Each structure stands twice: as structure tokens, then as C-alpha cells.
């Protein structure tokens, strides 16, 4: 019984060391792989493979002098293997580049959306006070022209004119401020 308990204790210590390595190095290794591959999906797969490999050699942890260097070399080698595979396999290469273009497209769309929201916000702040209030009541709160007219004690035609002027101004200013790559 004593031998089995000793083996269980050794295995538990190895699990704890593995967990510590994973917690300390997973994120930096991921960003290292991402820098090399330019693909989030591919980088996650590579890091997963590296840690699976590390788990399989857990009984050799004491033989590894510098775990950080060892892990970075494992990631670099895995990236090189994957890139070689991509170079050889046309179908795999097509999947990778389709995925890569999707990530770039999504990043581009996010940047454009943020730039648009910022430009719109700045333009709204430049509206004259009453026009800004009418715009916000109509476009943000969804109120009708008659409701706005009653609340602000102005005619519905004034609301219509002010809203038309606000929308026209915002279209012109926002279109002129957004600079797409």
C-alpha cells in the first residue's frame, strides 16, 4: 500500500506542476503563436497541442532545465510544423486563409463600427441644443413628432424641420469624418 500512496503523491505533485506551468505560460505562449501565425484559431490549437504534449512528458519535468525556454521552443516548432503542413496541403491552406481573412474582416468591421459611433457622437454633440434634444427624443428614445411637440411645446412641423436638419447635418458630417483605410 505504501508504494501506491507514494506513486499517487508523485502524480499529484506532477499535476500541480503541470497546472502551474499552464497558468503561467498559456497566455504568453498564445500571443507568441498568434504573432507567428496571425490566426487566433490556429494559435489556440497549437497551444492546446503543446500542453497535451507537455502532459505526456510530465514524468520528465525534472530533466528540463528551463521550462519557459522549452515551452517556447515547443510552440515555435509546432508553428513551423503547421506552416509546413499548410504549404503542402492545398485544402488545409485554403481553410487557413479563409479563416484568416474572416478574422481580418471582423477586425476591420469592428474598427469601422467604432469609428462610426465616435464620429456620430461627436456630430450629435455639435448640434444646436434644441435640435440635439429633438434628435435624441426621436432617434434614441423613439418618440413620435407629436409627442416631442407636446413635450417641448412647439409645433409638429418645427419638430419635423429640426429633425430633418439634424439628420441631414449628421449624414454630411459623419460621412466626411470617417476615413476608411
146: domain range?
102-181
**In terms of domains, do 74 and 107 share one?**
no
Element (H, E) at 172: helix 156-177
**In terms of domains, do 119 and 176 share one?**
yes
Residue 181, pLDDT score: 36
Q: Tell me, what CATH number does 181's domain have? A: 1.10.10.10
Which of 158, 127, 132 lies closest to 145 in space, CA to CA? 158
Residue 160, pLDDT score: 94
**In terms of domains, do 87 and 124 share one?**
no
Residue 161, pLDDT score: 94
Report residues of the chain scoring pLDDT below 50: 1, 102-105, 179-181
Domain boundary among 59, 74, 92: 92
pTM: 0.49
Domain boundary among 71, 92, 113: 92
**pLDDT per position as a tens digit, 75-95:** 999 998 888 877 776 666 666
Query: How many folded domains does the chain comprise?
Result: 2
**In terms of domains, do 21 and 41 share one?**
yes
Residue 106, pLDDT score: 54
**In terms of domains, do 82 and 112 share one?**
no
Report long-range pairs for 19-27 (Cβ below 8 Å, ≥24 apart): 21/54, 21/67, 21/71, 22/51, 25/67, 25/68, 25/71, 26/51
**In terms of domains, do 106 and 88 share one?**
no
Domain assignment present for residue 28? The answer is: yes
CA angle 128, 131, 137 (to 5 degrees): 135
**In terms of domains, do 153 and 66 share one?**
no
Amino acid at each position: 500500500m505504501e508504494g501506491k500512496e507514494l506513486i499517487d503523491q508523485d502524480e499529484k505533485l506532477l499535476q500541480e506542476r503541470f497546472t502551474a506551468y499552464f497558468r503561467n505560460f498559456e497566455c504568453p505562449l498564445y500571443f507568441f503563436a498568434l504573432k507567428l501565425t496571425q490566426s487566433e484559431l490556429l494559435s489556440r490549437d497549437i497551444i492546446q497541442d503543446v500542453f497535451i504534449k507537455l502532459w505526456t512528458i510530465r514524468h520528465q519535468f525534472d530533466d528540463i532545465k528551463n521550462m519557459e525556454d522549452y515551452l517556447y521552443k515547443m510552440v515555435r516548432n509546432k508553428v513551423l510544423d503547421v506552416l509546413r503542413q499548410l504549404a503542402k496541403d492545398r485544402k488545409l491552406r485554403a481553410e487557413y486563409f479563409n479563416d484568416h481573412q474572416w478574422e481580418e474582416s471582423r477586425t476591420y468591421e469592428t474598427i469601422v463600427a467604432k469609428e462610426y459611433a465616435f464620429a456620430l457622437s461627436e456630430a450629435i454633440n455639435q448640434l444646436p441644443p434644441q435640435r440635439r434634444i429633438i434628435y435624441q427624443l426621436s432617434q434614441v428614445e423613439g418618440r413620435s413628432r407629436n409627442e416631442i411637440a407636446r413635450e417641448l411645446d412647439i409645433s409638429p412641423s418645427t419638430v419635423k424641420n429640426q429633425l430633418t436638419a439634424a439628420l441631414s447635418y449628421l449624414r454630411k458630417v459623419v460621412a466626411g469624418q470617417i476615413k476608411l483605410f
